[in-house]
A and B are shown apart, each in its own frame.
Chain A
Amino acid sequence: MSEERRGWFQRLRAGLGRSSSRLTDGIAGIFAKRRLDEAALAELEELLIAADLGTELAEEVTGRLRRTRFNQEVAPEEIRAALAEEMAKSLALVERPLRLDPATRPLVVLVVGVNGSGKTTTIGKLAKQYRDDGKTVLIAAGDTFRAAAVEQLRVWGERAGAAVVARETGADAAGLAFDAYERARREGADVLLIDTAGRLHNRADLMAELQKIVRVLKKVDPKAPHAVLLVLDATVGQNAHRQAEIFRDMVGVTGIVMTKLDGTARGGVLVSLAEKYGIPVHYIGVGESAEDLRPFEAEAFARSLVGLER
C-alpha cells in the first residue's frame, strides 16, 4: 500500500472509526463469550438499527446471519466480517466514481439537496480537487436565496483558484446557470459546478424551480446537466429515503455525496438507499479540508463501519 493511499485510508478510518467504535464495542460485547442465539441476533439487529440502517434492513441482514450461522460459536471478528460482507454486497453496486469525460467539456455538475446538507462546502472541496488536478473550473453560485451564500462560495473559489459566477440575492437561479454554462463553454472550462439553494423536497414550488434550472441547461446541451449530485447529511435518518426518491424523480439525481461522516453518525442509511434506489454513491465527506472529500469505496466503507481494518 503506497504512502499516500495509506494516508487517506487512515483518515477515513479515523473519521469512520469514531462512528464505528461504539458499534464495534457492542458487537464484541455480544459475542465475546456466547453463541449466536436469538438473543444475540436481536441485539445485533438493534446495533444495526442504531446505525440508521432502518428496521427492515436490519432484520433482513440479521436474518441472513441466522440462516448461515445460527447457534454456531462465533468470534466477534467473524461476525464483523460477515456483517461487512453483507453490507458491502449492496454497497458495491453503487460504488461508482464521478469521472470527467474528455468528450464532454465542460462537464456540468448540478448540486442539489435539502438545507444544511453541505452543498456549498462540497462544491468548494470538489473545485479544489479539480484545480489541483490541473483542470479549469467554473462555479455558478446558484444559491440566490440564502443570505451571503455567494460570499461563502467566493471564499471557496479563491481557495481553489476557480472563478465564481454570481448574481445578487433573489436573482433567477436558472438564468444564472444558463449564463454560467455559456461562459464555461466560451472559456473552454473542464468543469462547471452549479450550486443551488437548499430546499426541502416536499416543497413542490421549490422543486419546480430546480426543474427549471435543468430545463434551461438542456437548451444549451440536451445531455446537460451531465451529473446531478444529491448531497445527504450523514446524520439524517429514514427521511433520506424521501429525499433520494423525490430529488431523483424531479431532477434525475445521478449520484450521491454523503457528508459529515466524521461525527458519530454512521450513515447506515446509505446501505438501505443502495438496495432501494441503486443511485451511485460518488463521494463521502470525512472532515473539513478539501482532501477529506473522498471517493466512496464500498468495501472500505462497510468494513470501516463495523470497525475492521481493510
Chain B
Amino acid sequence: MFESLSNRLNDVFDRLRRHGALSEDDVNAALREIRVALLEADVALPVVKDFVNAVRETAVGQEVLRSVTPGQMVVKIVHDHLVETLGGVAAQPLNLNAVPPVVVMMVGLQGSGKTTTAAKLGRIVRLRERKKVLLASLDVQRPAAQEQLAVLARQAEVTSLPIVAGERPVAIARRALDMGRREAYDVVILDTAGRLHIDEPLMQEVAAVRDAAQPTETLLVADAMTGQDAVNVAKAFAERVGITGIVLTRVDGDARGGAALSMRQITGRPIKFMGTGEKLDALEPFHAERVAGRILGMGDVVGLVEKAAETVDQEEAEKLARKLQKGGFDLDDLAQQLKQLRKMGGMGGVMGMLPGINKVKKQLEEAKIDDGMIKRQEAIISSMTKSERRNPKLLNASRRLRIAAGSGTSVPEINRLLKQYQDMAGMMKKMNKLGKKGLMRHGLSAILPGGGGGFGR
C-alpha cells in the first residue's frame, strides 16, 4: 500500500505535469488518494478530514510542487505527520505516581481484550517496575470472567483478589482497594466487564466504580481491527468515564490499524501499549512509527524482525549467515529457509509485513506461489541425496525424474525450484553487496529484479 500510495501519487503528478504547471486541483487529486488510503486503513472519516487538511497545509508550505518526486515527498509528509499524531517516537509510560495502592482501571467493549491485557499489564508492572500487584476482576456479566482473570494472574505470577460470588462491581472494587491497602500492594489493576458505550446502566456502573476507586490510570482497551465505530467508542468512554490512555490489542493481526489514529485524535489521550500476541509477555510500549507504517501499508519491518527472532533458530541463522558470506548457499539452506518461512506464519504472514511487497505479492499470487507450494518444495529437496543438495549441478534429467517420483511432484516443478534457487543465490550475493542499509532504503524491489523475479516463474 505504501508503494501503491506513493505510486498512485506519482501517477497523479506525472499525469498532471505533462499538462504544464501544477495547480491546486492537482494537489487536491493527490490529497484524495491519501484520503482513500487512510479510509481503507479504517481511519475514521472525521479524523481523515482533519488529517488531510493538516497535510495540505504542510505540503503547501514545503513547496512539494517544485520537488522532483512530489509523490514521495507527500508520502513523507503524511508519514511524519502520522507518527507525530500517533504520539511521536517515544511511548508514554504508565503513570504510577500516586499514593499506593495506585489504581489502574481497564475499560472497553466486549471482546476487546481487557482481561488478557490486565494480566499482561500486571506481569509487566511486577517485572519492570518491581511492584507488588493485585489483580481484581469486576466482570460479573460474562460467565467465568473472574475465573479467567484468576488463572491468568497465576500465570503472570501476581495475586488476584479472591472471588466472592454475587458481589457487585463497586463492592469488589472497594474490597480490592481494602486488600491493597492492608497488604501493602503498590498497584491494583481493576478489570471491568465489557460494555457497549451506549448501554446507559452499565456506563453508570463503571462511572460509579471510577468514583469509588479513584484510578490514576483508566485505560481504554481497543481492538486494532476496529472500523469506523472507533470514534463513537472512544468518544463515549472518554466523556462518560474519562480515560487517561489507550491500549491497542491484536496488533499481531494484519489489520491496518487506522483505529489507533482515530482514537488518539478523538480522545487526545496517548496510546500507551500494544498487544502483540496471545502469550502474557506479548505487551509492548506503543510504537507510533510501526503503526504509522502499517496504516500506510509500508509494512512492519520491526514486527517482522521480532517475529523472525521468535521463530528462527539463532544458531541456524548464524550458520547460514557465515555460509552466505562465503557465497555457499546450497539447497539444504533453501530447505531450512522454507521451513522457517512456514514457521513464521507462511507466505501470507511474512508478506504482509514487508515493505514494497504489494506488487510482488500480486505476482506471487498470479504465479500460484503459496504455502502448499512451499511444502512441495520441501518435499522435493528432501527427496534429493546429500550430494545433490550440496551441489545442484549434479541434477541431470534422470536424477530429476527420480526426485519427481520420490516427492510426488513433477519435473517442471523441480526445474522451477532450481531456477528459484539460482535466483536466490544471486540475490544473496546482491544483498551482501547492498548491505542492510540499502535493503531498508530500497525495500525488496532492490533485490528482486522485475518484482517477483526471485521466485522465478
Closest residue of B by beta carbon distance from A234 = B229
A36 to B345 Cα, complex, angstroms: 49
A9 in the interface, Cβ–Cβ < 8 Å? no
- Contact surface of A with B, Cβ cutoff 8 Å: 18, 46, 49-52, 54-55, 114-118, 121, 145-149, 151-152, 154-156, 169, 200-205, 233-240, 242, 246, 260, 262-266, 269
Determine whether the beta carbon of A115 is less than 8 Å from that of B113.
yes
Inter-subunit contact A49/B228 (CB<8 Å): yes
Is the pair B223, A235 in contact by a Cβ cutoff of 8 Å? yes
Could you tell me the dominant secondary structure of chain A's interface residues? loop
Q: How far is the CB of B329 from chain A (nearest CB, A)?
A: 25
Picked from A114, A151, A204, the residue with its CB within 8 Å of the CB of B225 is A114
B397 contacts the other chain (CB 8 A) = no
The answer on a CB contact under 8 Å between A118 and B345 is no
* Contact of A116 (CB < 8 Å), options: B112, B147, B229: B112
B71: CB under 8 A from chain A?
A: no
* Contact status A204-B348, CB under 8 Å: yes
Give, as a whole number of angstroms, the nearest-CB distance from B312 to chain A.
14
Q: Which A residues touch B254, using CB under 8 A?
A: 200-202, 239, 242
Distance (whole angstroms) from the CB of A207 to the closest CB of chain B: 9
A202 vs B348: C-alpha distance when bound (angstroms): 7
Are B148 and A146 within 8 A (Cβ)?
A: yes
Do B349 and A203 touch (CB < 8 A)?
yes
Q: 8 more A-B contacts (CB under 8 A) besides A49-B39, A239-B256?
A: A114-B225, A116-B223, A151-B148, A169-B151, A201-B253, A235-B223, A237-B259, A263-B196
Q: Which residues of B contact A262 (CB under 8 A)?
A: 196
Sample 5 A-B pairs with CB under 8 A, ordered by A number: A147-B152, A202-B345, A205-B345, A235-B226, A264-B198
State how many angstroms separate the Cβ of A58 from the closest Cβ of chain B.
9
Query: In angstroms, how far is the closest chain B Cβ from the Cβ of A199?
Result: 9
A11 to chain B, nearest CB (A): 15
Nearest residue, chain B, Cβ from A151: B144
Chain B: minimal CB distance from A166 (Å): 12
Chain B residues near A50: list those with CB within 8 A.
44-45, 228
Q: Give the distance to chain A from B430, nearest Cβ to Cβ, in Å.
A: 28
Determine the chain B residues whose CB is within 8 A of the CB of A240 once the complex forms. Answer: 227
Q: Does B82 sit within 8 A of A, measured CB to CB?
A: no
B342 contacts chain A at the CB level, 8 A cutoff: yes
- Kindly identify, within residues 225 to 248 of chain B, every residue whose CB is under 8 Å from any CB belonging to chain A: 225-230, 232-233
- By a CB distance below 8 angstroms, the chain B residues around A116 are 110-113, 223
Say whether B111 contacts A237, CB under 8 Å. no
Q: Which residue of A lies closest to B111 (CB)?
A: A116
